[in-house]
Amino acid sequence: MDNRKKQVLHAVIKDYVATAEPVGSRTIAKKYDLGVSPATIRNEMSDLEELGYIKQPHTSAGRIPSDKGYRYYVDHLMEQDEKELSKAEEAFIKKSFTSQVSEIDVLLKQAGKLLSSLTNYTSMVVKPHTRAGVLEKISLLNVDENHVLVIMLSNKGAVYHRLLELSERVNRNQLQEFETLLQQKLSGLSMTQITITLIQETAMQMLWHQKLLNQALEIFEELLSPNENSSRVLINGALNMLNQPEFHDIDKVKEILALLEADDKVHSLLASKDVKNTEIYIGDELNLNGINQCSVISTPYVIDGDIAGCIGILGPTRMAYPKVISLVEFMGKQISDNLSKKDK
């Protein structure tokens, strides 16, 4: 693609993103000062259409970008100054993360809500697939005769807890004794090192009380197993789609909302390719029925140097890619920094 075609494609995308209206050659000639006549621009647009970078939605209309055109723009045409956040925007986002957060879930919900409001699109956050940080404290609390609250506190300020129902009663002294032993054996280990096998080895030291051993294994097998009732994906701004001209068709919106209710499908949008860097999927690249007019931009966040989850945006293919990419990446960095701040 020569420079003039690149300039025309860039102009078509920029104007269409701003107006949501098909773009004509006269509009480009008036607004973008490319130094050529409308007739020349029209010829370039015809070539771009033949190459598949733009398309004509209906007869006598201007052109709009195709998925291929957006992809070329994202890969080759975005300019650095388009991607820069203002100092005020960066300061606002940083300030939003200054409050003390005791649980990772709270921080991620806060981040997702902020990203959705800044973009006016739908934010999606995949929560950590592993527990983060180093165990500082573990507590076993009697709630009543048949329930125990297990609390594990990490050095990251994260709190993992589960209310467990016991098959047999365990008294407070027995729980206290096992809590003390667990604290001695497990304190200082990374949360990912705490496994069922390690719990079993620790519990074996208390074989003199078989009932307590059985209860201990029951407690921790359930605590360390995935919580079936807890979604790993946080969604914010699902109804923001209604603000976009592309989605005034309620049937299209219903399809998207139905997809957002399917945790596994949303998770696949963000994490199916083992994301290590910012990823951008446009239109049909998503490989999911019902959202071929959408794009997804996602980036990972890290805990202890390891990728723990990702945060992303679902919006129309007609989105301001440079700005949204910058916001998603900056938000991912803020999550990573905030979750690691106790190490600094």
pTM comes to: 0.73
> Token digits for 201?
């080895």
Q: How confident is the model at residue 297 (pLDDT cuts 50, 70, 90)?
A: very high
Contact present, 299 and 330 (Cβ < 8 Å): no
Quote the pLDDT of residue 177.
80
> Residue 116: is its pLDDT beyond 60?
yes
- Write out the residue limits of the CATH 3.30.450.40 domain(s) in the chain: 82-129+232-343
- Write out the residue limits of the CATH 3.30.390 domain(s) in the chain: 135-224
Q: How far is CA 309 from CA 29, 203, 221, 298, 323, in A?
A: 45, 32, 24, 10, 22
Q: How far apart are CA 262 and CA 253, in angstroms?
A: 15
Tens-place pLDDT, residues 188-204: 887 667 766 676 676 66
Assigned CATH for 82-129+232-343? 3.30.450.40
Q: What is the DSSP letter of 190?
A: B
- Write out the residue limits of the CATH 1.10.10.10 domain(s) in the chain: 3-77
Tell me what the pLDDT averaged over the chain comes to: 81
User: Does domain 135-224 sit in CATH 2.120.10?
Assistant: no
Alpha helices by DSSP H, the chain: 3-19, 25-32, 38-51, 67-72, 80-83, 87-96, 104-119, 172-186, 196-203, 210-224, 250-260, 263-271, 321-340
Which of the four CATH numbers 3.40.50.150, 1.10.10.10, 3.90.25.10, 1.10.3720.10 does domain 3-77 have?
A: 1.10.10.10
Contact present, 321 and 73 (Cβ < 8 Å): yes
Q: How would DSSP label each residue in 317-343?
A: SSS-HHHHHHHHHHHHHHHHHHHHGGG
Quote the crossing angle between the two packed helices 250-260 and 263-271, to the nearest 10°.
Answer: 80
Range 202-211 contact pairs with CB under 8 angstroms and sequence separation of 24 or more: 203/178, 205/181, 206/177, 206/178, 206/181, 209/174, 211/168, 211/170
CB-neighbour burial class of residue 191 (10 A; exposed 0-12, middle 13-18, buried 19+):
buried
> Residue 318: is its pLDDT beyond 80?
yes
